[in-house]
Structure 1
Amino acid sequence: MKLATFRLPLAALAGLVLLTGCPDKKSTETAESSVPAAAPALPQAPVFNADSAYAFTAKQVAFGPRVPNSKAHIATGNWIVAKLKSYKLKVMEQPFEAMTFDGTNIHARNIIAQYQPQAVRRVAVFGHWDTRPFADADPDPKKKNKPMDGASDGASAVAVALEMARILSQLPEAQAPNVGVDFIFFDAEDWGHDETTQKDVKNQLEGGTTDSWCLGSQYWGTHLLPANYKAEYGVLLDMVGAKNGKFTREATSVASAAFALDKIWGVAAQLGYSNYFQYENTGGITDDHVYTNKAGIPTIDIYHYNSPDNFFPAYHHATSDNMSVIDRQTLKAVGQTMTQVLFVN
């Protein structure tokens, strides 16, 4: 992901400013929202292992930048698939080809894994597993054309989802949640045109039907896998592993899936994670959740929000997005909250 400037009009969000979650995410409005009253005691849920999620993040980074068409990208995708299969989940791959804004033809694949595929009630956990091919937001001009590790931006989300899949797969049937969970990893999210840092580069997709960002979720949204896929709600994880992570109530999420947002933020508060999941309303962005919402899955976006002036943290689309920014406490806050939510009716 990286600062950019494509915009997507959403009729349902009239009056809200949408900035790109893949490109330049800039907040225009912030407002405090009241914290809900005390809720009933939470049901028992398995313990999320932050050390395991940290190791999963490091493993992805160790492959090298996960840029489509690269050996590291192929190897990482194969590893993710193998991990999911080792947990006895139903795993599907969705290969696709696309052209990026700079005219590069890429070979990509979305990865889908289903826990309790027989369950009628379903929850989707989304993330992207690729990395941006250039660190065009890096403060060092010499590094702007270098690829990045994407430790928080991409790898942390996949790691949280993998750890959730691991601990769920170990539960005896009597202790399983009463929902099925679909882990859906999008490819080619981050190879988009940033109108700020790449203003001198032509966006060859401009004026067409395809936005330059979030290519994997755009493809999945029009080629649903599983076919005719439905879920009660979805949660997009993006940049969820860095120290001092701050997650706010993003406007598109509020408009599209307020019930899911309220549920997750309420659980986080009960678990003691309100310093991460903050009751602050912030402007709308365009990220993969825009396309999953368009596909009929009410989806919220959990991502590292910085400030109204600098929407993204300093590591965003920079070479500093490496393992040095990853924090086990943030991984724990997100992972334990998401795991617990599955056990709350």
Structure 2
Amino acid sequence: MRTSDHLLILALALLYSCSGNPGKQVEQQTERPAKMVVVPVFNPDSAYDFVKKQVDFGPRIPNTAAHKNAADYFVKQFSAYGAQVNIQDFEAMTYDNQKIFLRNIIAAFNPDKTKRILLAAHWDTRPFADKDPQNPRALFDGANDGASGVGVLLEIARVFHENNLPEVGVDIILFDGEDWGFDTSTAESLYGNNSDFKLPKKLDSWWCLGSQYWSKNKHTPNYSAYYGILLDMVGGKYAQFVREGVSMEYAPGIVDKVWNTASRLGYGHLFLNKKEGAIMDDHLFVNTYAKIPTINIVHYDGSEGYFGDFHHSRKDSMENISKETLEAVGRTLLQVIYNE
């Protein structure tokens, strides 16, 4: 994903003029507090194990055995948990002219319900640790960036299987191809002063390939959802989640709903009451192409334009995954969903 600082074209063409200052405290909340119903237990140990299982496959880089094995595992798990599973296989070209074979995985619970909630995360791993100061071309685990969101969603699927389902339908989508994009801040570390390398001209050739594909080719004709929640880097030991700009532009009421719920559960120290700048992530295309109001729960320090020192480096390993953070996000999501 990318911050708004590096997305001037995107901001002008697709987004909006951000009102207010980054870091400004949000003073008014429009979402009225809902009654907190009793919900099933989210098991942080289980979520952690789901994250580790992905890391044990190796980096889930498209066109690798680890990528295929992880995809097969996700399909098997969702099917075992009683979901109606759809698979989208497609090809894409990366900014550096690599043809990659991608797979979006959709798991539907309560498929006959008309009111639906969309939960999503990307599951692929960036093919190089371009923010690693020692070796920018190294592979890395992607424990937080990719595996953590999927781990939370797999645990939610397990909870659905072992307990009464919520009153709404829930669709879990694992987007592929999110993280093979061009980052101007690390281009020199990857390519040096190579004059033969040219910047990609098409925005669509950069990031979030799976969500772009799904948003234009939904797994069910005329599919829609009441709202969506994207998870990205939701397992870090020092996580903080801010009211991110795209989320606040397209779905401020859903941000209020989720952040208020987290606060009432005692997680206000993680879900900060701060509005920050826009991030290009999968939720952007679900909002703009699929027209589903979708927010992003993402580890981000907007004042610094900073995702954490683990981001796109070899530090993104199981050593930096926190069961407490996974639990905070998972419990909040379950509370929101069962409250519907």
Q: Equivalent residues in 2 for 1:194-233 (5 A)? A: 194-199=183-188, 200=191, 206-208=200-202, 210-233=204-227
Contact 1:35/1:279, CA 8 A, preserved across alignment: no
Superposed CA offset, 1:69-99 (max 9, x none): 0000000010011000000100011000001
* Separation in structure 2 between the aligned mates of residue 278 and residue 245 of structure 1, nearest angstrom: 10
Contact 1:205/1:211, CA 8 A, preserved across alignment: no
Superposed CA offset, 1:2-49 (max 9, x none): 7793541366743229xxxxxxxxx97210013759935411111110
Contact 2:26/2:275, CA 8 A, preserved across alignment: yes
Matched, 1:9 2:15: no
* Separation in structure 1 between the aligned mates of residue 62 and residue 11 of structure 2, nearest angstrom: 28
Matched, 1:138 2:132: yes
* Separation in structure 1 between the aligned mates of residue 226 and residue 129 of structure 2, nearest angstrom: 36
Q: Cα distance, 1:207 vs. partner?
A: 2.3
Contact 1:95/1:109, CA 8 A, preserved across alignment: yes
Letter in 1 for 2:180: W
Of residues 303, 310, 330 in structure 1, which corresponds to 2:325?
A: 330
* Separation in structure 1 between the aligned mates of residue 197 and residue 78 of structure 2, nearest angstrom: 36
Contact 2:62/2:100, CA 8 A, preserved across alignment: yes
**Which residue is 2:161 aligned to?**
169
Matched, 1:271 2:249: no
Of residues 270, 290, 299 in structure 2, which corresponds to 1:304?
A: 299
* Separation in structure 2 between the aligned mates of residue 31 and residue 291 of structure 1, nearest angstrom: 26
Provide the secondary structure at the position in 2 that maps to 1:210.
Answer: helix
Q: Cα distance, 1:103 vs. partner?
A: 0.8
Q: Cα distance, 1:171 vs. partner?
A: 1.7
* Separation in structure 1 between the aligned mates of residue 18 and residue 249 of structure 2, nearest angstrom: 10
Structure ranking higher in helix proportion: 2
Q: Cα distance, 1:310 vs. partner?
A: 4.2
Letter in 2 for 1:66: R
Letter in 1 for 2:24: A
Provide the secondary structure at the position in 1 that maps to 2:324.
Answer: helix
Q: Equivalent residues in 2 for 1:32-51 (5 A)? A: 32-34=25-27, 39=33, 41-51=35-45
Provide the secondary structure at the position in 1 that maps to 2:24.
Answer: strand
Bigger mean CA offset, 100-109 vs 303-312: 303-312
* Separation in structure 2 between the aligned mates of residue 60 and residue 208 of structure 1, nearest angstrom: 31
* Separation in structure 2 between the aligned mates of residue 329 and residue 35 of structure 1, nearest angstrom: 28
Provide the secondary structure at the position in 2 that maps to 1:8.
Answer: helix
Contact 2:75/2:105, CA 8 A, preserved across alignment: yes
Q: Equivalent residues in 2 for 1:1-345 (5 A)? A: 1=1, 5-6=6-7, 7-9=9-11, 13-16=15-18, 29-34=22-27, 39=33, 41-140=35-134, 143-172=135-164, 176-199=165-188, 200=191, 206-208=200-202, 210-294=204-288, 295-345=290-340
Letter in 2 for 1:39: P
Contact 1:5/1:193, CA 8 A, preserved across alignment: no
Structure 2 unaligned residues grouped into runs of 5+: none
* Separation in structure 2 between the aligned mates of residue 105 and residue 276 of structure 1, nearest angstrom: 39
Provide the secondary structure at the position in 1 that maps to 2:103.
Answer: strand
Superposed CA offset, 1:317-341 (max 9, x none): 0011000000000000000000110
* Separation in structure 2 between the aligned mates of residue 248 and residue 328 of structure 1, nearest angstrom: 20
* Separation in structure 2 between the aligned mates of residue 317 and residue 323 of structure 1, nearest angstrom: 14
Going from structure 1 to structure 2, the CA distance change for 1:262 and 1:38 (only over 3 Å counts) comes to closer
- TM-score, length of structure 1 as denominator length: 0.91
* Separation in structure 2 between the aligned mates of residue 307 and residue 230 of structure 1, nearest angstrom: 30
* Separation in structure 2 between the aligned mates of residue 78 and residue 146 of structure 1, nearest angstrom: 25
Percent sequence identity is: 43
Q: Cα distance, 1:139 vs. partner?
A: 2.1
Letter in 1 for 2:244: E
Contact 2:149/2:232, CA 8 A, preserved across alignment: yes
Structure 1 unaligned residues grouped into runs of 5+: 18-26
Provide the secondary structure at the position in 1 that maps to 2:326.
Answer: helix
* Separation in structure 2 between the aligned mates of residue 324 and residue 208 of structure 1, nearest angstrom: 37
What is the number of equivalent residue pairs in this alignment?
A: 331
* Separation in structure 2 between the aligned mates of residue 87 and residue 178 of structure 1, nearest angstrom: 17
